[in-house]
Amino acid sequence: MENVKTITPAEVEQRLKEGEALFLVDVREHEEVAYGKIPEAVHIPMGEIPNKLDSFDKDHEYIFICRSGVRSENVCRYLDHLGYKTVNMIGGMLSYEGETE
């Protein structure tokens, strides 16, 4: 099985500070997102991803985020298999020190 491409929370934070437009997708559950998410991230719970494939463009790279990086890695594997460009934010929101809302 192919390795999933990864990015650190610090790299995400730095790229956002530099004004880079990133396609961030938070796949945590609603109650988890209530504790804070990256403002630029779109919230699509993991279980809803298969029904939301039309929300993704195969020409864009998407960074997937969860609590610790495990669920987002699983989403990346699923979407990679379907031909999408994905990156997993390792460590998830537990490791993210940037701004949240």
pTM: 0.96
Output Rg (C-alpha) for the chain, integer angstroms: 12
Region at 39 (left for phi over 0; alpha for psi -120 to 50; beta for the rest): alpha
Q: For residue 66, indicate whether it is catalytic.
A: yes
- Pick from 97, 3, 17, 57: which is nearest to 25 by CA? 57
Catalytic residue among 66, 76, 89, 93: 66
Q: List pLDDT tens digits, range 49-101.
A: 999 999 999 999 999 999 999 999 999 999 999 999 999 999 999 999 999 99
pLDDT at residue 1 in the model: 53
